[in-house]
């Protein structure tokens, strides 16, 4: 498996990534073969192929003791690998999808990584309570990392994310303190691109209403929610006034 992954990414794996691959049981997170080249599906969620996970983590270049934030917990596989590298207590993972959070927590507990914090949050807002972070990994495609995430990074930290829309490039950026220092660099202001890898194909970062199992069309979603409310749905101010006592 390791030789196959090194062939796919075109370079040898670092010692910390190799150790994490050997120690983290992939079958605790997903039922596919560790040799698979493509992505898998779990509860409607797309699970990254091992080669993509390795590219992201290798580019992140985290070290033992680094405080790490993972945006997009998924099934928890890459989160577990980072826990092996930096220590489980130093890893924080968030996901906007409640089911994903539940699955990640269960998988991580089964695999022995209970100390990892997994919380339901909007990835665009990060997790400010535990900031700053030495490393931030975004497991969703974005043109550039949201401002909140950039502000939660240490001065010598690194953010890794799939840059682009349909087909992305895995990019690592670090603060440089200069506004627009290189017009050719696609990094956000006051950051510079220090490493790229890829290409990659990850789904875009979700916003509320786009989680698995939620109707993305707002009108249809709200109509369905009102239908479920039944008697308690609003029918006009006069009905609210008449029925108010009955509803208490």
Widest CA span of the chain, in angstroms? 73
Tell me the per-residue pLDDT of 46-76, one tens digit each, with 9 for 90 and over: 788 899 999 999 999 999 999 999 999 999 9
90: nearest Cα among 108, 69, 72, 71: 69
Arch. (CATH architecture) of 2-214: 3-Layer(aba) Sandwich (3.40)
Tell me the per-residue pLDDT of 172-191, one tens digit each, with 9 for 90 and over: 999 997 765 677 899 999 99
Give the integer Cα–Cα distance in Å for 213 and 215: 7
Give the integer Cα–Cα distance in Å for 155 and 151: 9
What is the rounded average pLDDT of the residues 79-83? 98
Q: How many residues does the chain have?
A: 248
Residue 180 confidence (pLDDT): 58
The structural domains of the chain, with segments of one domain joined by +, span 2-214, 215-248
């Amino acid at each position: 498996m390791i030789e196959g992954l090194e062939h796919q990414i075109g370079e040898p794996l670092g010692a910390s990534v190799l150790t994490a691959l050997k120690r983290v049981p992939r079958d605790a997170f997903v039922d596919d073969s560790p040799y698979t080249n493509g992505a898998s599906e779990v509860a409607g969620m797309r699970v990254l192929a091992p080669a993509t996970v390795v590219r992201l983590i290798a580019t992140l270049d985290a070290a033992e003791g680094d405080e790490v934030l993972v945006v997009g917990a998924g099934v928890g596989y890459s989160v577990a690998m980072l826990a092996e590298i930096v220590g489980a207590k130093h890893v924080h993972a968030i996901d906007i999808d409640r089911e994903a959070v539940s699955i990640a927590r269960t998988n991580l507990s089964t695999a022995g990584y209970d100390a990892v914090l997994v919380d339901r949050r909007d990835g665009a807002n990060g997790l400010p309570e535990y900031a700053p972070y030495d490393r931030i990994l975004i497991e969703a495609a974005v043109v550039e990392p949201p401002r909140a995430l950039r502000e939660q990074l240490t001065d010598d930290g690194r953010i890794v994310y799939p840059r682009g829309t349909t087909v992305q490039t895995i990019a690592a950026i670090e603060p440089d303190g200069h506004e627009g220092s290189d017009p050719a660099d696609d990094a956000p202001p006051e950051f510079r691109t220090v490493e790229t890898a890829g290409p990659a194909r990850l789904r875009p970062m979700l916003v509320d209403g786009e989680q698995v199992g939620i109707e993305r069309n707002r009108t249809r979603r709200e109509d369905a929610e009102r239908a479920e409310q039944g008697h308690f749905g609003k029918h006009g101010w006069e009905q609210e006034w008449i029925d108010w006592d009955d509803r208490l």
